[in-house]
Amino acid sequence: MAKQPAAVVGVGQTHHRAKRLDVSMAGLCREAIDRALEDAGMTLDEIDAIVVGKAPDLFEGVMMPELFLAEALGAAGKPLLRVHTAGSVGGSTAIVAASLVQAGVHKKVLTVAYEKQSESNAMWALSVPLPFNMPVHAGAGGYFAPHVRSYIRRSDAPTHVGAIVAAKDRNNALKNPYAHLHNEGTTVESVLASQMLWDPIRYDETCPSSDGACALVIVSEDVAAASPNPAWIHGTVMRSEATTAAERDQVNPQASRDAAAALWKQAGITSPIDEIDMAEIYVPFSWFEPMWLESLGFADENGGGWRLTESGGTAMDGVLPVNCSGGVLSSNPIGASGMLRFGEAALQVRGAAGEHQVDGARKALGHAYGGGSQFFAMWVVGSEKPSN
């Protein structure tokens, strides 16, 4: 049995900020939801079901907050699901929402993902001291920085490639009114001059901590017919592996490679670099752009990633524009960050990305990962209905 066609017809997001002190959690979610519904030309009452996603409950100090939010989100009297799959959750949540339509169960599904990091401290929430366990001695970037070093060693990358990514994404963010960081005048030189935090990761190469939300309206084929520019879902995939396993490849995890292979197959794509017009890839630390480019099959696994980045291939006018929205490096409401990638990909193929639109984008990748690079969620969306 084949999946029922499904399309994104509404995308909404908040203005992401370090602290959105003007809104409650419900208000934050509704800001994204109302924009998505307006985009879709729908009202909350028309929605069949709602899927909520966010990262750990300790961030906001509410256990299963979707329960108290249900009424404000318009979910009262409707089915409501809550997904939580670590940092990939925004992507996983969109995929679960899509599956409600692809399974033929519902026709109009609303999905929202959010994080209100200002309610607590993410560093605390992620590393609550536990008895017997050694306290975290390296801080937030300390987990990923060694793997970046491994990548640099394995691929013989020049050490300024991370700065190229950071400068590109921060400049892309200037074209995105919703982005958290609008740092004018960021250059490769200014990134290289920023403080080295977790060597080899510099301050300007790390993501901010944001409050924000993202919402999507995903509908069935007949409903999508009323939309002037639906983003058709060509493939979705989720893959997981262990956080720590003997000899696990932490630079290019097998779950990532498997996910990409399954995704391209589903979407009927044989040469991703030629067939994908732009990608929104989860890059919380600059070096993950070249790392994921290789893992996703956009470039060869022996340094093709950094070569592509260094050549300008991932810039707005490159062969594969990556993170035209400014990406996670410019806005990081953790639970929503994955859905933002998925939503920005949809905006691109709908021709609705505004100033950061890639001309003629017809197929785009939305990508999210989480934990210690062991959870992956990805989708491909296109301006044309999938033929398979």
Task: Please report whether residue 125 would count as binding another protein according to CB under 8 A.
Answer: yes
Task: Please report whether residue 60 would count as binding another protein according to CB under 8 A.
Answer: yes
| Comparison of 259 and 278: residue with beta carbon closer to another protein | 259
Q: How many CB atoms lie within 10 A of CB 90?
A: 37
Residue with the two structure tokens 């002037």: 228
Separation of alpha carbons 359 and 274, rounded Å = 15
Task: Please report whether residue 249 would count as binding another protein according to CB under 8 A.
Answer: yes
Measured from the CB of residue 185, what is the shortest distance to another protein in angstroms?
23
Site string for another protein, 269-288 (x = CB under 8 A): --------------------
Task: Please report whether residue 57 would count as binding another protein according to CB under 8 A.
Answer: yes
Of the listed pieces 161-169, 174-182, 241-249, 337-345, which binds another protein according to CB under 8 A?
A: 241-249
Task: Please report whether residue 261 would count as binding another protein according to CB under 8 A.
Answer: no
For residue 299, give the amino acid letter: A
- Encode burial over 263-284: b for 16+ CB neighbours within 10 A, e otherwise: bbebbebeebbeebbbbbbbbb
Q: Which two tokens stand for residue 165?
A: 């990514």
Inter-axis angle of helices 161-173 and 288-295, to 10 degrees?
100
Task: Please report whether residue 156 would count as binding another protein according to CB under 8 A.
Answer: no
For 37, what's the count of Cα atoms within 13 Å in the CB-facing half-sphere?
A: 19
Of the listed pieces 119-127, 163-171, 185-193, 273-281, which binds another protein according to CB under 8 A?
A: 119-127
Measured from the CB of residue 274, what is the shortest distance to another protein in angstroms?
26
Task: Please report whether residue 154 would count as binding another protein according to CB under 8 A.
Answer: yes
Applying the rule CB under 8 A, the residues between 345 and 364 that interact with another protein are none
Of the listed pieces 9-17, 118-126, 224-232, 324-332, which binds another protein according to CB under 8 A?
A: 118-126
> CB neighbours of 360 closer than 8 A, spacing ≥ 6?
277
Q: Which one of 42, 157, 161, 197 is in contact with another protein (CB under 8 A)?
A: 197
Of the listed pieces 10-18, 123-131, 186-194, 213-221, which binds another protein according to CB under 8 A?
A: 123-131
Of the listed pieces 169-177, 235-243, 347-355, 360-368, which binds another protein according to CB under 8 A?
A: 235-243
Q: Which one of 16, 17, 20, 356 is in contact with another protein (CB under 8 A)?
A: 20
Separation of alpha carbons 271 and 274, rounded Å = 6
Site string for another protein, 286-325 (x = CB under 8 A): ----------------------------------------
Task: Please report whether residue 195 would count as binding another protein according to CB under 8 A.
Answer: yes
Task: Please report whether residue 341 would count as binding another protein according to CB under 8 A.
Answer: no
CB 173 within 8 A of CB 325: yes
Measured from the CB of residue 12, what is the shortest distance to another protein in angstroms?
14
Task: Please report whether residue 199 would count as binding another protein according to CB under 8 A.
Answer: yes
Of 384, 363, 314, the residue nearest 162 (C-alpha): 314
Task: Please report whether residue 196 would count as binding another protein according to CB under 8 A.
Answer: yes
> CB neighbours of 369 closer than 8 A, spacing ≥ 6?
87, 88, 256, 282, 292, 375, 376, 377
Measured from the CB of residue 358, what is the shortest distance to another protein in angstroms?
29
Query: What DSSP designation does 57 have?
Result: G
> CB neighbours of 127 closer than 8 A, spacing ≥ 6?
135, 136
Separation of alpha carbons 3 and 232, rounded Å = 12
Residue 61 falls in which region: left (phi positive, over 0), alpha (psi -120 to 50) or beta: left
Provide the pairing of β-strand 80-83 with 201-202. Answer: unpaired
Q: Which one of 18, 38, 41, 68 is in contact with another protein (CB under 8 A)?
A: 68
> CB neighbours of 99 closer than 8 A, spacing ≥ 6?
236
| Comparison of 168 and 367: residue with beta carbon closer to another protein | 367
Length of the chain: 388
Q: Which one of 16, 17, 30, 356 is in contact with another protein (CB under 8 A)?
A: 30
Q: Which one of 18, 19, 274, 311 is in contact with another protein (CB under 8 A)?
A: 19
